[in-house]
Structure 1
Amino acid sequence: MDTTEMDLNNTGQIVLSDESAIDVSSAIPFYYQLQTILEEKIQSGEWKVGQKLPSEKDFCEHFNVSRTVVRKTLSNLASENLIHTMKGKGSFVKPKQHGWHLMQSLQGFYSDVVGKGQVVNTEVLELSDIPASGEIAEYLQLKPGEIVTIMKRLRFLDGEPILVVTTYIPKKLSPDLVNVDFRNRSLYAYLREENGLVIAEGTRTIESINATKELAEQLQVEDRAALSLLKSLGWTKDGTPLEYYVAWHRGDRSQFRVRLVSSEY
């Protein structure tokens, strides 16, 4: 079973007991007033992740509004990823999605999230030297069979599994990489500090896929759950391919943010 569903079913139901009210004399639509009240309770943490929201009937009676108003409010909250509705069970406060800047910045996952004060933990699933396959050799501009270090990691954010990433680094660029403990260490920091290597340019692509059974078990989601597949190739300043990685991000916990600037400015 999806861990999200388990959390939602065991956290308790919210009871409406405060003095928040709809201002019937205001020109602001009732649904928007109600939405603002509920958003504040969720974003402030007063209503906890996994807690079950009151029923539509309870909302109607407590705020003296119609069922239409309540349904529009809940629909808007769901669109904002603040709540999750489970058929036959009700609506629940949804875990917060994490926003990444990985599509517009060459910093790694570790730097992206630690800078926000979040806790990152890593389980290293594989770390070994292998001959590069044709595809990997082509990406890294190596001869087929040339040795690369492969590192497969399961990354946790604040204790929750968020992504699985498989990374390939040419052995000749970082000979001792295979001997490093990366459970609590940034790969990019190691390459910079120990090998003087920095990714100066890169390309990244993203697509939507369904989780395989293995990925579902590792990320604690349902089989065929939606994942975001990120592929990245990075070069050093002189154009040498340094890293190729493939990362599978949980679709229910990840957002990728891109800042756009007009070409006219």
Structure 2
Amino acid sequence: MKPKTRGRPRYDETDNSATETFLKMAADGLDRSESIALWVQLKNRILDAIDAQTLLPQSRLPSEQAICDIFDVSKPVVRAALSALAADGHVIKMPRKGMFIAPTRRDVDFMTSNLGVFGDLTAKGHLVTVKTFEFYRDAPSDIEQQVFGLPREGSVVRITRVYYSDGKPITLTHISLPGHKVPGMEKLDIDNRSVFQTIKEQYGLTVKRAERWFTAAMPDAEATERMGVAANTPLISIESIAYDYEGGPLEYYRAFYNSAVASIHVRVES
């Protein structure tokens, strides 16, 4: 009988089921008529399988060449997809052994993780709806220039929206994205869609970390009207800067959050 291992998980087992999963994933092929790059489609296809647990944690992926053959794509496409997954922490490269699905991450709330409001509440089983008031491209303000390091002639995409949890307005959010990283985004349909999910699918961009600041605040006129709260309702004011895996700022937002609809949960572990 083999002794039980302790400490680090084992990554030395060949997992034939992963190859079978890849063959099933490739049954429909990648859409070469789509505007979304092939490597982004491949990355999202693998990520969906990880989320659905058809690719299990610590299972070994097929080789680069095998994935090329399965999906009928070039090595640069496969390498770009796998590199992005590795940068996001979804797969692990082991020298001389291959690439493996990373161990399952612990779930945390959006206030202390890289999830957005939409993704966090949806994952918890809430019905999330969104009303978008503004969605356009414009010249950057002074604060946007500073946050994103943009020249005066640069641009940003701005989104103003209210998120509803089970029909109750929970947050009014003003979002800014650096225009050069999301070309043409203002032409997309984002109704009732997560901003993070949209930029992941369209541009292959994901958030590695975010810095957030919280202060107690009373709602301004815009918040009282769009969130339907009284002027004397105490809210939480949030300012956030999210960064991509290259360390560049990807999203800046300011928000009013109504903790009477959903409390803020912070988990601390040592």
TM-score (norm 2): 0.58
Aligned position for 1:244? 252
Displacement, 1:224? 3.1
Counterpart of 1:183? 191
Note the C-alpha offset of 1:176: 1.8
1:113 aligns with 2:113: no
Judge conservation of contact 2:170–2:261 (CA < 8 Å) in 1. yes
Contact residue 167 and residue 243 of structure 1 kept, 8 A: yes
Deviation at 1:214, TM superposition (A): 2.1
Runs of 4+ in structure 1 over 6 Å off? none
Matches within 5 A, 1:3-152: 101-152=109-160
Deviations 1:162-199 (A, max 9, x none): 11101000111011211122222111111111101001
Query: Per the alignment, in what secondary structure is the counterpart of residue 200 of structure 2?
Result: helix
Gaps of 5+ in 1: 1-99
Task: Work out whether 1:172 is the aligned partner of 2:180.
Answer: yes
Distance 2:158 2:147 in 1: 14
> Quick one: distance in 2 between partners of 1:226 and 1:260?
26
Residue 147 and residue 256 in structure 1: after superposition, are their counterparts in 2 closer, same or farther (change >3 A)? same
- Structure 2's unaligned 5+ residue stretches are 1-107
Q: Which amino acid aligns with 1:162?
A: I
What residue in structure 1 maps to residue 266 of structure 2? 258
How many residue pairs get matched?
163
SS of equivalent to 1:194: helix
Task: Give TM-score, length-normalised by structure 1.
Answer: 0.59
Find 1:161's aligned residue among 169, 172, 193. 169
Look up the SS of the partner of 1:112 in the other structure: helix
- The equivalent residue for 2:51 is none
* Identity among equivalent pairs (%): 25
Shift, 1:208, TM fit: 0.8
C-alpha contact 1:216 1:224 (8 A) present in aligned 2: no
| Conserved? CA contact 2:170–2:259, under 8 Å | no
Cα deviation code 1:111-151 (max 9, x no counterpart): 10111111111111000111111111101121234200000
Residue identity in the other structure for 1:130: D
SS at match of 1:254: coil
Corresponding letter in the other structure for 2:220: T
Write the deviation string for residues 185-233 of structure 1: whole angstroms up to 9, x where unpaired: 1111111111010011221111110011221121111113111111110
Which one-letter code corresponds to 2:249 in the other structure? P
Q: Report if aligned partners of 1:228, 1:250 keep a CA contact under 8 Å in 2.
A: yes
**Contact 2:109–2:265 under 8 Å retained in 1:** yes
The match for 2:240 among 232, 244, 251 is: 232
Which letter does structure 2 place at the counterpart of 1:167?
Answer: I
Aligned-residue CA RMSD in angstroms? 1.4
Query: Residues 190 and 198 of structure 2 are in contact (CA less than 8 Å); yes or no, is this contact kept in structure 1?
Result: no
Matches of 2:262 and 2:237, distance apart in 1: 11
Higher helix share: 2
